[in-house]
Amino acid sequence: MNPVDQLNHLRKLGLAAFLGIVVFLPGCVSVANESAEPQPTVNTTGNESPARNRARIHTELAAGYFELGNFGVALEEVRVAEQADSSYPPIYNVAGLIYAALKDDRRAEENFRRALRLAPADSDINNNYGMYLCQRGREAEGIKLLMVAVQNPLYLNPERSFVNAGVCARRRGDNAAAQDFFLRAIAARPNQPQALFQLADLSYASANYAGAHGYLRRLAQVAQANAEVLWLGLRVERRMGNAIGEASYAQQLRKNFPESKEAAALQAGRFE
């Protein structure tokens, strides 16, 4: 199968190359499978040189195989892309993601830094490197890069970087800053699921149960609830004294996620 056919095959699987829309969010707060379209990080209007076109195709293949978890093939595609045009910044963005997933921090950081040297204002690269730093306990550096990402007026997905910044701020215990970032995310995109969930969770933590209830209602309109969302909803209804709502969430949790840790906590009566 030639590279273009490979790429079309991956796209049919719903794994069209990210290049920049990866969001490093903890699995426990994943509340929706968003079907976002890939956003190219450079001009792909047909004015590319043959070498640049080859680099782009193989970089997209690398991103697709990365999403499939086939890291070995993904790295081979990175190598082919780099041989074609070593000045193409997304190569090193994708390589950074792959090495980060492999826990090879030295190579991950080398590639993210190289990507930024080639394209310092690229929002996708700043987003991915920023969240990588947040995950490595370097939150201040990470948030700085995430804010560089949203400063680009051509960035099509600023809400992603605001959400990542909010998650990063929560990691270091700054809930006030986190709330501000999540509010900015829903200002950019009102139905952003991660931001709505995080705002509901923060509202619950601050005993603003009506606020949490409101955010969960908005979330229910745009995303299917997972066990964590149902558990939060159950506890919100319990705090508000709404027995019917609490029972509804409990029934959904037991039925849809019987093996989850949230269902186990419900069974044991551990609500906090």
**Model pTM?**
0.84
At residue 3 the predicted structure's pLDDT band, cuts being 50, 70 and 90, is low
Residue 1 has pLDDT above 90, yes or no: no
What b/e readout covers 41-72, taking b as 16+ CB neighbours within 10 angstroms? beeeeeebeeebbbbbbbbbbbbbbbbeeebe
Q: What per-residue confidence (pLDDT) applies to 189?
A: 96
pLDDT in tens, 166-220: 999 999 999 999 999 999 999 999 999 999 999 999 999 999 999 999 999 999 9
For the chain, give every domain's residue range.
1-31+40-119, 190-272
At residue 272 the predicted structure's pLDDT band, cuts being 50, 70 and 90, is confident
Rg (CA), the chain: 20
Class level of CATH domain 190-272:
mainly alpha
Neighbours of 271 (CB within 10 A): 12
Q: What architecture is the 1-31+40-119 domain classified under in CATH? A: Alpha Horseshoe (1.25)
| 234, 243 Cβ separation under 8 angstroms | no
Residue 156: φ, ψ to 5°: -85, -15
| 134, 142 Cβ separation under 8 angstroms | yes
The token pair at 9 is 């095959």
pLDDT in tens, 220-231: 999 999 999 999
Query: Do the first three CATH levels of 1-31+40-119 and 190-272 match, i.e. the same topology?
Result: yes
